[in-house]
Structure 1
Amino acid sequence: MRRSRPARAADLHALAQAMPHVTVEAGGRGNEVYQVGGKSFVYFRTPRGDAYDPETGERYDDVVVLWVPDEQDKQALVEDPGNPFFTTPHFDGHPSVLVRQSRLGELTLAQLTEVVEDAWCSRASRRRVEAWLASRGGASS
């Protein structure tokens, strides 16, 4: 895979599934919830009233929640105008960002890989993170 090509929704699924110790749960409407140690790190949301098209008022039906390490990382992602990430008041104080699947192509595969790896690291146990990093030669994402 060329890491500089635009990311796709299929990449998000593949990247989340490829992380160690991952289970995939079904959300209330069959939507995928990727977990490590029983903790979600990538969650394909069902349409909710807090994420909608400002012009039409229609709820977005393609929102994904990705955990982040902390508020600083969250703000860096949502405040960068070059990123498709956003948040809503519902997620104030929650260590996660939102992104529409239809906008994933605004990221490269390498950028999406980093966000998914960071999401996994923010939710996995320290022991699992250390083992995963060691398996990669100690390189962090």
Structure 2
Amino acid sequence: MATYDDVHRLVSALPEVEVGQRFGHRAWSVAGQGFTWERPFTKADVKRFGPDPVPAGPVLAIACADLGEKESVLAQGRVGFFDIPHFAGYAAYLVALDSVDVADLEEALQDAWAAKAPSRLLPEADR
């Protein structure tokens, strides 16, 4: 189980991370590129779940490099990682913080940061 404070702690350890706002909620970016943000469900989101249970607790959106990476991440079947129709065709997925493993969250945040960070910030092997 994780919290938004855990997210802030984990991303603050990465180079040149800035905290800002996105649609009135906390968001984190690197070099002006958003890579993760608080993403509570809208009424429309909840309605789209229909009879399926809506994940409880705080939800985080995490950007990825492209749709292939998104598919790969979601195919791993990690607990707490999911998608919603609103994110179809968008290179980002959601994480239910109440059910995610903190180590999985940390890895996802590092990958999102690397997907958005300028090459000068990346380790030599990742350039």
Shift of the 32–126 alpha-carbon distance from structure 1 to 2, 3 Å rule, reads same
1:81 correspondence with 2:73: no
- Give how far 1:19 is off: 1.1
| Sequence identity (%) | 25
Tell me, in whole angstroms, the C-alpha distance in 2 between the residues paired with 1:42 and 1:76. 18
Q: Which residue of 2 aligns with 1:91?
A: 87
Structure 1: 5+ residue stretches without partners = 1-6
- Give how far 1:78 is off: 1.9
- Taking structure 2 as the reference length, what is the TM-score of the superposition? 0.78
- Taking structure 1 as the reference length, what is the TM-score of the superposition? 0.72
User: Any residues of structure 2 matched to 1:2-21 within 5 Å, and which?
Assistant: 7-9=1-3, 10-21=5-16
Is the contact between residue 51 and residue 88 of structure 1 (CA under 8 Å) also seen in structure 2? Answer: no
Q: Which residue of 1 aligns with 2:22?
A: 27
Computed over aligned residues only, the root mean square deviation of the Cα atoms, in angstroms, reads: 2.6
Moved over 4 A (4+): 51-61
Structure 2: 5+ residue stretches without partners = none
Tell me, in whole angstroms, the C-alpha distance in 2 between the residues paired with 1:34 and 1:71. 21
Q: Secondary structure at the match of 1:50?
A: helix
1:47 correspondence with 2:78: no
- Give how far 1:24 is off: 0.3
